Chain A
Amino acid sequence: DAKTTQPNSMESNEEEPVHLPCNHSTISGTDYIHWYRQLPSQGPEYVIHGLTSNVNNRMASLAIAEDRKSSTLILHRATLRDAAVYYCILNRDDKIIFGKGTRLHILP
């Protein structure tokens, strides 16, 4: 199974940028890196995904290391509504395994 490693929890101040790291040293050439987040009492929500190049969308940016063994999800300006568990996963066309994720706390 494709495995990722994330910090258990992180804190950030409201209106500050947040950088959420993920290590995936066993990534293979065709694995896409996906990020999801889960707000309290809700199902996970797709955030962003990428293969090799950095990606931006309205929610966040994804920075992928040149060797693809790590990536960083960037929330440019955190709000209280961004408090959630963030999951980094490798999507490789078969069973998609979620780890424990990073619980992000936003301080007002």
Chain B
Amino acid sequence: DSGVTQTPKHLITATGQRVTLRCSPRSGDLSVYWYQQSLDQGLQFLIQYYNGEERAKGNILERFSAQQFPDLHSELNLSSLELGDSALYFCASSRWTKSNSPLHFGNGTRLTVT
């Protein structure tokens, strides 16, 4: 158990809808990362937050947004959903932003858009 909790585990929704994925980092971790993994694809970096502030951005679509709250949990909002957004979405946390701080991943939210 990594200590990172993601909810829900599974989500099925229709095109055009909006969903919110939630991540609770490991106790004491200040940094949260979001990744998208499509079928047979690698992990695509979306966005990183550190202690409530956006730290780095990857190829995140404009339809997607995220935030990290004062209690350090994070939410990833996906709107105007398309079939191609079906994927596993992983959250990871780390103690700091420093490069010797390992990432710890949750087990992901599987999103299916129909």
- Residues of A at the B interface (CB closer than 8 Å) are 30-32, 34, 36, 42-46, 49, 51, 87, 91-101
On whether the beta carbons of A100 and B99 are closer than 8 Å, the reply is no
In the complex, 26 of the A-B residue pairs with CB atoms within 8 angstroms, ordered by the A residue number, are: A31-B99, A32-B99, A32-B100, A34-B102, A34-B103, A36-B103, A43-B106, A44-B43, A44-B103, A44-B105, A46-B102, A46-B103, A49-B100, A87-B42, A91-B101, A93-B97, A94-B48, A94-B56, A95-B57, A95-B58, A96-B45, A96-B103, A97-B58, A98-B35, A98-B42, A98-B43
Cβ distance B22 to chain A, nearest Cβ, rounded Å: 15
> On chain B, which size bracket covers the interface?
20 to 34
Chain A residue at minimal CB-CB distance from B46: A95
B55 located at the interface, meaning its Cβ lies under 8 Å from any Cβ of chain A in the complex:
yes
Contact B104 A46 (CB under 8 A): yes
Contact check, A51 vs B103: say whether CB atoms are below 8 A apart. Answer: no
Do B48 and A95 have beta carbons less than 8 Å apart?
A: yes
Assuming the A-B contacts A43-B2, A100-B42, are A30 and B102 also in contact, with contact meaning beta carbons closer than 8 angstroms in the complex? no
Bound CA span A42–B4, Å: 12
- Residues in B with CB closer than 8 Å to A51 are 100
User: A87 — which chain B residues lie within 8 A by C-beta?
Assistant: 42-43
Whether the Cβ atoms of A45 and B2 lie closer than 8 Å is: yes
Which of these, B57, B97, B107, contacts A42 with CB under 8 Å?
B107
Q: Which of B4, B45, B102 sits near A97, CB closer than 8 Å?
A: B45
Asked if B63 is at the interface of the complex by the 8 Å CB criterion, the answer is: no
For the complex formed, measure the closest distance between the CB of B15 and the CB atoms of chain A, giving whole angstroms. Answer: 26
B25 within 8 A of A: no
Given contacts A46-B102, A51-B100, A87-B43, 16 further A-B contacts (CB under 8 A): A43-B2, A43-B92, A44-B105, A46-B103, A49-B102, A91-B100, A91-B101, A92-B99, A94-B55, A95-B45, A95-B48, A96-B48, A98-B42, A98-B43, A100-B42, A101-B42
